[in-house]
Every structure is written in structure tokens, then in C-alpha cells.
Structure 1
């Protein structure tokens, strides 16, 4: 998944004439170097010499991050992890929490804080996760939020330049461009949000009564059905029925779908 996407990205840049020269470094080595920095927290210039030069590695990282390549890969890998655990690729529920994280020694003190309760000097980060752990925000929404935040940071700077006597026409052109980017990002976020799968709806009391009442029809139909047909129905419902003649009882074992593993069902009595 990762190699074809990165190879296609570099080929597209080469075909478009964006790359100034023929690439000489292996994309796998560059990607491994990025993972190494992410795992160890070292500065780019401290990369071991068996990796490509750190300016090259950072250049690829900055380009992939800016164009949303890394975010898209993370979203796809999250889907694979969920599929491996037997879930749908897109979650319908999430958990939001925050965490105090220690920072490395080369982080400016002005960007850090202190969590006195946990005795951690670092930063507070928030994350939305699903039941398997990885984040579940669509990459289009994440990329749009980054663009909106960047535009919101630029607009006050442009206003300050204008107040300081900058060329009004130039500043107006800058602000118009940023506002257009912000509007496009807002539209992208709204479109991606609308495409998200809807959350499970709650059943009303009338819905529940109607659902329970329909069980009578199912019971009457199964009572008069052939035994082989009954077994097919039970198999489709993921039910295993075992008759115990000594106790005159039927034991029921259910295998629910993975998406409903939070539901616990207990069957008691002689049913």
C-alpha cells in the first residue's frame, strides 16, 4: 500500500517537472528515516549516516505532509487494522481523550507546559480513537482543518502588515488568496463530513414494541417449518441450539457480529 502510493507521487512530480533532478535515493530508505525520527524523537540533523541526508529526508517529509500523503496513508492503514480485528473499515463511534506527553530536549521552552498532577513537562495533546486505538477522522477533514488553521494564522499577520504601512494592494491580494483557500477548505470539510457514515440511530418505544411483536410471527412460522429449514435460519442468525434430554432444556450459544461485541446476552430457563 505504501510503496505504490509514494512511487506514484514521485513519478507524478517528475512528469510535471517539479523535481529539479533525477531522484537518487530509495523511497523505502527515506520513509524508514522518517519513521526513525518519529520513533526516537531526535533532530533531523542527527539521523544516522546509513540513512539518506537529513535535508533530503525532511524535504520529502514536508512535501508528503503538506499534500496529505501521510494522512491518507494513516487513514488507509487504520482501515486495515480495523478489518484485521473484524470491524468495518470506518468506525461509527469514537472516544475522545487528552494526554500529557514529554517532549525532547530540543523543544523550545515557550511551546511547553507543566502538568503538575502527573509531573510531566511537555505538551498536552488530544486524540479521537476508535475501539482498536487508531484515530478515525477522515483524511479529508484533517487536511481541511490544517488549511483552515494555517489561513487563520496568516490573516492577522497580513492585517498587521497593512497597519504598519505595507502596500495596500499587495496585502489585499494576499488576504484575498488566503480567504479563497480558507473557503475551499471549509467546503472540502463540509463535503467530507456529509460523506461520513451516519451514527447508529436510537430506537423509540414504538419501534421496540413493533420489533418485539414481530417475534410472534417468526415463532409461529418456525414452529411449523421443516427441521432443515429451521437449522438454516438458526445458522444465518449465528445461533447454535443443543438439546439436553436429561434436563429437558435447550442450550443456546450466540456468535454476534464483531461490530456488536459490546452486547452481552444471557439466556436462562428452559427456552
Structure 2
């Protein structure tokens, strides 16, 4: 996940790559990966003095170029971003921790992808009442979320007199999470044949990030020791 290595090129101190891949697939299919990820997120929220159950969230998407092995049936063209490939849709809490993730073709509109994503969010976290989003989610989705899911979808827009880069309230949280994901070479571009495996890679990356946060910052293996006085 971190270095973008192929399964077949796993380091020699790992078990045979087919066995590692089988365990990764089993954890994804049986829900063990989601359970591990969610338990770590609850611990991070508690460490930050928050309740494990979030009451608000932020949704956004990010288009990625796809590798040549990606099937055409699950890839497309994002005309707005001028990117051909896939799009990952994220819902995060106010700390930027992932609550739900979905991967679609880049041609899928944000409003269309948000319907099943918000439905899953409501099923998993009934405590959430408010979701912030950008202008791409405006329109009928706002009324649908209020009527069907009892969710308040609040659109955070740029003002007409704004020019250049501006940090927008609430939206910066999910945009920061999207930038976190770009630290992973595996997630800079979509190499996964199955969209579900790309979703799993997002969860694995966040599991690494949250584990490091819970463990605290430690000196790296190549850091120089602090010189002693005398």
C-alpha cells in the first residue's frame, strides 16, 4: 500500500504472494478489514476527546487515472477534471477519518454515487444528522437525503467574488484526507482490477495512518541519535 509494489513482487520475507493475496481478499470479503479499521477509528476519536459515534460528516470525490489493466466496464471519463479512469468517493468525520468509501467509474456523477454512499452511511452510523458537501451535490439530492434518510445535506459553496485558492469551511477536512491518500503510491493511480479492492486499499492506508497516530511519533530506522552532553 505504501510503496505500490505488485503482489508478485512482495519482499522475500513475506509468505508466498498468492497466500498473502488470499488473506487480504478474505479479510475484505468477510468484513474483518472494515472491523479493524472502524475499531481503530473509534480509538482515535476517543484519544481526541470525541465520542466514538460521529454526528456530522463531509463528503467529496477524487478522480484518478487508471492503469491499462482496468476493465472498461468499471472506468470512464471525468469531463470536468479531464481525467480518464475511476473516481473514489469518501465520507469522513470532522477529524478527517474515513466513515465510508466507494469507487466508481470516473464518469459517474457525484450526486449519483452519493445515493448508495449516504444510504450505507445512514445504516452504519445512525447518529449522523448533518453532512457537508460542495456544489456538485446540490439539487434534488438535498431533498432526497432529508426525506429518505433524515439527513441534512448542507452545501458549502464558494462566493461569487472569490478568486484563487481559498480554504472553505468544513470542506477542507475531506480535501485534506484526499491529500493523505495521495501519499500512498498504490493510491496515486488505480491499479486494481476490482473497485472493491481499491476501496480495501483505502482502508488499509487509513489503518496504517491511525495506527501510527495511536502509537505516537517514533524515530525512524535511519534517524540520527541525539548527541549526549559531555
TM-score range, shorter chain: 0.3 to 0.5
Bigger RCO of structures 1 and 2 (CA < 8 A, at least 6 apart): 2
Q: Which has the higher helix share?
A: 1
Answer 1 or 2: which has greater strand percent.
Answer: 2
Q: Structure 2-normalised TM-score? A: 0.41
Q: TM-score if structure 1 supplies the norm length?
A: 0.36
Larger radius of gyration between Structure 1 and Structure 2: 1
